Amino acid sequence: MTATTLALIVGGGSFGAGVLGALTGLGGGIVIVPMLTLVFGVDLKYAIGASLVSVIATSSGAAAAYVREGFTNVRVGILLEVATTMGALMGAALAGIIPNPWLAVLFGALLLFTAYRSMHGRTDHDVLTTPDIWSVRLRLDSTYPTATGKQPYSVQRAPAGFALMFVAGILSALLGIGSGIIKVIAMDQLMRLPFKVSTTTSNFMIGVTAAAGAGVMLHRGQIDPLLAFPVTLGVLCGALVGSRMLGSANPVRLRQLFTAVVVLMGIEMLYRGLTRTI
């Protein structure tokens, strides 16, 4: 198989991952790494490097749009980016010394946890408007647009969210994913941000987090341009198509499809890691 043929096939698979990621709201990174390793036989660390580059690209355009529309809480994003960036630097450093089988086991466990969260959906909570001490000190409270006008909200438990974001940063660079599910848990469940604010602020942060980890991996020579380019292009095009399909898609079927794909990949990654065949 020639390099061009392989690039086209990888780009096609990445396109499918981008569509699925956009339709489920979890991004294509969580599918890209197991796809590259299990289907195409790419070394896990090079798959992680290519995935990080695609995460940077896919988050950039959407992040700018969400900021312009007024959903993203930029002050919260910049605060939490400090934690995710520190975590990403540590995760990228750990990725260079942790053996591939251990990474595969960790990735498989995260995939199964993601499937579990996807099956159970999310729990809505009331929008809180009473500020706590940290939201006042750091001026984190803001508003977001709704059909009836600007809705104010207050940010809660910023220190707890900061700590969990450090963990999300480690996982992002260690496994080549956006860690969106961990970030949304931190902002939606711990910090009590409205769901649209937490998802858009997470997207705003993902690119910076991935760039920190990608810089370390690039220095180690674990980002191959011949692999990263088709992956990034495929995911970008797939995310664009998926976002356009979102309005007419069946959310129940999407969740079932996503869960099935992620569970199969998670089991296979766990098996490969435990048997040291990756």
Q: What is the total residue count of the chain?
A: 278
- Out of 56-60, 207-211, 215-219, which region has the weakest mean confidence (pLDDT)? 56-60
In a domain, 60, yes or no: yes
Closest CA to 6 of 225, 222, 238, 227: 227
Give me the DSSP letters along 164-178: HHHHHHHHHHHHTS-
79: in domain: yes
245, part of any domain: yes
Q: Are 91 and 215 in contact (CB under 8 A)?
A: no
196: how many CB neighbours lie within 10 A of its CB?
17
Cβ neighbours of residue 136 under 8 Å, at least 6 residues apart?
Answer: none
Token duo for residue 160: 């707890």
For residue 155, is it within any domain?
Answer: no
Establish if 194 belongs to a structural domain. no
159 falls within a domain: no
Residue 135 vs residues 20, 154, 161, 198, 201: alpha-carbon distances, Å: 36, 7, 12, 15, 16
Strands in the chain per DSSP E: 142-146, 149-153
- Specify whether the CB–CB gap between 228 and 52 falls below 8 A: no
CA gap 141, 150 in Å, rounded: 13
**Domain range enclosing 224:** 3-125+168-181+200-274
Number of domains in the chain: 1
Residue 162 lies in a domain: no
In a domain, 193, yes or no: no
Per the DSSP assignment, residues forming a β-bridge with 202 are none
pLDDT digits (tens, 9 = 90+) for 134-185: 888 889 988 888 888 888 888 988 999 999 999 888 988 888 877 767 777 7
- List, for residues 27-58, the tens digit of each pLDDT value: 667 788 888 888 888 888 899 889 888 888 77
